[in-house]
């Protein structure tokens, strides 16, 4: 049925639940998994009194973002090893999280995306949108949402 499952994670408790569901499914059908974390791009503040651009701030932001991505992806690696499921991980830097998830699923040949329903509620969800909703709306790959 499924041979390669993509698991986007943001390190949240919701994502941890999606990881467990994806690994249970992968083990049951003999699939491999790929964990993905989309690292946000750095945008320096742009306003009248922001002063000159400081490349050290950008470098520190990138180091911290990659370190965070490695921690989040270690959850996938560790849980997959414990479950006996073959796994790999990657992190990609992008401002467009949903588009990146869809693109990675296609590039990696994934035949299922398993992701969390998201953490925003109420007005924040309406104003900011949901990456999960965007993936559901635009992905050609089947998507399993975990609540």
pTM above 0.85, yes or no: yes
Which pLDDT tens digit goes with each residue over 50-60?
Answer: 556 677 888 88
Where the chain has pLDDT below 70, the residues are: 45-53, 118-129
Question: Cα 82 to chain center, whole Å?
Answer: 21
Q: Is 94 exposed, middle or buried (0-12, 13-18, 19+ CB in 10 A)?
A: middle
- The Cα–Cα gap between 10 and 101 comes to 12
- The domains of the chain are located at 4-146
pLDDT given at position 59: 87
Task: Name which CATH class applies to 4-146.
Answer: alpha beta
- Please tell me the predicted confidence (pLDDT) of residue 128: 45
What's the confidence (pLDDT) of residue 119? 57
């Amino acid at each position: 049925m499924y041979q390669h499952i993509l698991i986007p994670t943001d390190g949240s408790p919701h994502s941890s639940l999606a990881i467990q569901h994806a690994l249970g499914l992968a083990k049951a059908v003999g699939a491999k998994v790929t964990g993905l974390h989309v690292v946000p791009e750095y945008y320096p503040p742009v306003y009248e009194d922001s002063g000159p651009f400081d490349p050290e701030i950008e470098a520190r932001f990138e180091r911290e973002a990659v370190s965070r991505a490695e921690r989040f992806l270690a959850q996938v690696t560790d849980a997959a090893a414990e479950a006996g499921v073959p796994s790999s991980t990657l992190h990609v830097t992008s401002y467009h999280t949903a588009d990146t998830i869809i693109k990675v699923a296609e590039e990696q040949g994934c035949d299922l995306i398993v992701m969390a329903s998201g953490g925003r509620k109420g007005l924040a969800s309406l104003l900011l949108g949901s990456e999960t909703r965007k993936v559901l709306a635009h992905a050609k790959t089947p998507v399993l949402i975990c609540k």
